[in-house]
């Protein structure tokens, strides 16, 4: 399991026109091949009258990488879309580029350029993001330490939950697994060891 990977943050569309041909890129984050295939089938039904519905997707689990030219000349559509995903070092996403032919042939080079541009626009619209494997850790401290700890958490840009107040303060925070031990050591130093930690489960969280 990777501790950090790049993907996109949401489903999004981007459109442009090249010599009267209309290109619509739909990009979506996915975690399984079934999710990728479901989007492709959805768009094929929705855009049944399109000339082509080209796609490419990459799934981290099992290193799955697929593409389709969907009737365009071999290597001019699906491969350029896939190449954009690889160039941007993205995974766990699918991009479908729908083309409505405008009556003017683009040629091999023109097709490669158009599908590459469309895929890039789709990825940009979907918001590339870095995901890190994080562990939820509950910090427990005295009230007198709260301000100092919260300031440290803000400076690190960590995702925190709402504090729970009792005789002490408990703060849930998600820390990248690879930084967890150094994070704990730093907070122990910051509070002169007046802090304790309870570790929970892990999940991927955006860190940029």
The maximal CA–CA distance of the chain, rounded, in angstroms, is 74
The predicted-structure confidence for 112-126, as pLDDT tens digits, reads as follows: 999 999 999 999 999
* Positive or negative torsion for Cα 183, 186, 190, 193: positive
For domain 4-126, give the CATH number.
3.30.230.30
The predicted-structure confidence for 192-206, as pLDDT tens digits, reads as follows: 999 999 999 999 998
Q: Per-domain residue ranges for the chain?
A: 4-126, 132-206
* Domain 132-206, second-level architecture: 2-Layer Sandwich (3.30)
Banded model confidence at residue 207, pLDDT cuts 50, 70, 90: confident
Q: What mean pLDDT do residues 99-110 have?
A: 95
Q: 20 near 51, Cβ under 8 Å?
A: no
Q: 22 near 104, Cβ under 8 Å?
A: no
């Amino acid at each position: 399991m990777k501790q950090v990977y790049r993907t996109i943050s949401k489903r999004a569309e981007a459109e442009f026109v090249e010599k009267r041909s209309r290109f619509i890129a739909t990009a979506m984050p996915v975690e399984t091949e079934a999710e990728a295939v479901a989007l492709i089938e959805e768009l094929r039904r929705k855009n049944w009258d399109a000339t082509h519905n080209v796609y490419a997707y990459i799934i981290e689990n099992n290193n799955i990488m697929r593409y389709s030219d969907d009737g365009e000349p071999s290597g001019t559509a699906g491969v350029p879309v896939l190449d954009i995903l690889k160039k941007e070092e993205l995974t766990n996403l699918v991009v479908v580029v729908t083309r409505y032919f405008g009556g003017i042939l683009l040629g091999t080079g023109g097709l490669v350029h158009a599908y590459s541009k469309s895929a890039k626009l789709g990825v940009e619209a979907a918001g590339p993001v870095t995901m890190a494997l994080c562990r939820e850790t509950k910090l427990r401290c005295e009230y007198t330490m709260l301000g100092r700890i919260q300031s440290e958490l803000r400076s690190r840009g960590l995702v925190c939950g709402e504090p729970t107040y009792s005789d002490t303060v408990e703060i849930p925070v998600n820390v990248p697994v690879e930084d967890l031990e150094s994070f704990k050591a730093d907070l122990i130093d910051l509070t002169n060891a007046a802090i304790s930690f309870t570790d929970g489960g892990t999940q991927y969280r955006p860190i940029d």
